[in-house]
Amino acid sequence: MNSLDAFSPAAWAFIATYLLSLILIGFVAFHARKENTLSDFYLAGNSFGLIVIFLTLYATQYSGNTLFGYSGKTYRIGYAWVMSLHFMTAIVACYLIHSPRLYVLARKFRYITPTDYLQHRFSSDALNILATVILVFVLANYLLAQLMAMGRAMQGLSDVDPQLAYTQGVILLTSIMVIYGTLGGIRAVAWTDVIQGLVLMVGFFVLMFVLYQQFGPISLATQKMQQALDVSVVNKAVVPDANRLREWLSYIIIVGLGSTLYPQAMQRIYAARSEKVLRHGLALMAFAPLITSLIAVCTGIYAIAYLPELDGTSSDQALGRILGLVQHSSVLGYWLVVILYAAILAAMMSTADSALLSISSMLSKDIYGRYVNPEASEARLTRVGKIFSWGLILLLVWLAIYLSDKTSLLKLLDRKFDLLIQLVPAFMISIHWKSMQAVPVVLGLVAGLVVSLILAYGGFDFVQAGKIYGFHPGLVGLLINLAVIYGGMSLFNHGKLVRYDSPIFDSFQSK
């Protein structure tokens, strides 16, 4: 049963106009470029002001996973997923651990990619390659989740078979995204993010208004859950147990730390016009969970109360099913759903385009430019990055179609944070710990990765639902990672930590 009736030609015309406008922005950004360099294509010449920084961070951080994945997760576990507000807020707090210092270094030494910092800080090819591989793998996983969300957003919107609609949605939306991203680089991505971020904010407010008008206050949905005959539904409205609270803490730590290490996030730090602009943009981001994650959770709660029949991967359709009810309520409800779907597409495309651009920059500069063709000009590196973008997107589109009915969106997220968080010492601690050296960092990173993967996939009895007593395996891996670094520093210096200051710390002497 489709969650929504097929959109009318007028509705499709509205959505098509919106999508085609993104390509137009790509052409405008292409002609606005100042030079054919990596800095201009991937950082827009470090020119982002406050509004652009805030909205591009907002549109990138809140994605198809927020809308579909979070409402689906809420449908599965109930009010316990209100933890998403806390870990989304934790991301902003964790940015402040390293981003101001990283910004100073990036402007002084002209960083383009995240691992430019690592190469400069440690002068270690092994660390640079390992970190690049991790970041590319994690981002590819993240991008895949967005492509799958695009497909699911298109299911039920036309008269064709839902699986065919999924496939067409993935191919069409991805094609538009890669076209404007290839044309205008991060300038086009940021300009579209401004539009998409505004549409997304409006969409969230409209969604909350529609839900209230359709179903009444959230308290009524909660009462309906508490009075349900199904015990599993009742349990979704009760106070979480100790294991769930540990999971809550685990998500706050792992998502808070890990999300700040996304390459697209770090490149936006580099692209800010000034440190003041960066700090003010992050301050505005602290309020974003209240109008995004909270509304996604409320959507899931309404779905539990009024659509109790979803199970398995179909729980990711909770948002679509709720909007189906709204669509049938009135003409106003119909057009509100059309606008909301424009906002949903905005969220997914704005996140996907940023991820794709970051992957291409790392493959081009950190791998091809550093190890394959060190003499390549910046124009050639930019061109190679565009080629990598098209090649990677073809592979991921195929995977998104193949995996369409084989996993839920949130399962694509857990494992990538287990890997990403192992880079915390290399980025977030090394920028403050002046004596940290390359070899212990590499050994700690390898140890953390191995432990995390063994715990996640080893089939141990104490690992339930991918977690150890509620905690992600990546957190255990991070503890081992830190222990190896500290022990390695002591061992290599005969039991005594000697001072070794990287020359980049001279940049902070005037601060």
Q: What is the mean pLDDT of residues 35-55?
A: 84
Q: Which one-letter amino acid corresponds to residue 489? A: M
Q: Which one-letter amino acid corresponds to residue 346? A: A
* Three-state SS at 48: strand
For residue 510, the model assigns a pLDDT of: 43
Q: Is residue 14 part of a domain?
A: no
Task: Write out pLDDT tens, residues 367-406.
Answer: 998 889 888 888 888 889 889 889 988 998 888 888 776 6
Q: Is residue 17 part of a domain?
A: no
Range of the domain at 260: 22-508
Q: Is residue 327 part of a domain?
A: yes
Q: Is residue 256 part of a domain?
A: yes
Planar angle of CA 248, 86, 299, nearest 5 degrees: 90
Which residues have CB under 8 Å from 127's CB, separation 6+?
A: 118, 426, 438, 441, 442, 445
For residue 157, the model assigns a pLDDT of: 66
Task: Write out pLDDT tens, residues 421-440.
Answer: 999 999 999 999 888 889 99
Q: Are 166 and 24 in contact (CB under 8 A)?
A: no
* Three-state SS at 201: helix
Q: What is the mean pLDDT of residues 69-96?
A: 89
For residue 503, the model assigns a pLDDT of: 63
Q: How many domains does one find in the chain?
A: 1
Q: What is the pTM of this model?
A: 0.85
For residue 126, the model assigns a pLDDT of: 92
For residue 41, the model assigns a pLDDT of: 85
| Rg for the chain, CA atoms, rounded | 23
Q: What is the mean pLDDT of residues 142-156?
A: 78
Per-residue DSSP letter, 403: T
For residue 399, the model assigns a pLDDT of: 85
Q: Using CA atoms, how far apart are residues 41 and 30, in angstroms rounded to an integer? A: 9
Handedness of CA 448, 450, 456, 459 (dihedral sign): negative
Q: Which residues pair with 250 in a beta bridge?
A: none
Percent of the chain with pLDDT over 90: 21
Q: Is residue 15 part of a domain?
A: no
Q: Which residues pair with 471 in a beta bridge?
A: 468
Q: Is residue 10 part of a domain?
A: no
CATH of residue 319's domain is 1.20.1730.10
For residue 1, the model assigns a pLDDT of: 42
Task: Write out pLDDT tens, residues 287-306.
Answer: 988 888 898 899 899 988 88
For residue 408, the model assigns a pLDDT of: 55
Burial zone of 498 (CB within 10 Å; 0-12 exposed, 13-18 middle, 19+ buried): exposed
Q: Is residue 370 part of a domain?
A: yes
The model's confidence at residue 497, banded by pLDDT at 50, 70 and 90, is very low
Q: Using CA atoms, how far apart are residues 364 and 452, in angstroms rounded to an integer? A: 29
Helix (H) or strand (E) holding 463: strand 463-464
Residue 354 has pLDDT above 90, yes or no: no
> Mean of the per-residue pLDDT values for the chain?
84
For residue 89, the model assigns a pLDDT of: 92
The model's confidence at residue 128, banded by pLDDT at 50, 70 and 90, is very high
Task: Write out pLDDT tens, residues 219-264.
Answer: 999 998 888 878 888 888 888 888 888 888 999 999 999 989 999 8
Residue 496 has pLDDT above 60, yes or no: no
Residue written as tokens 């015990």? 231
Q: Is residue 380 part of a domain?
A: yes
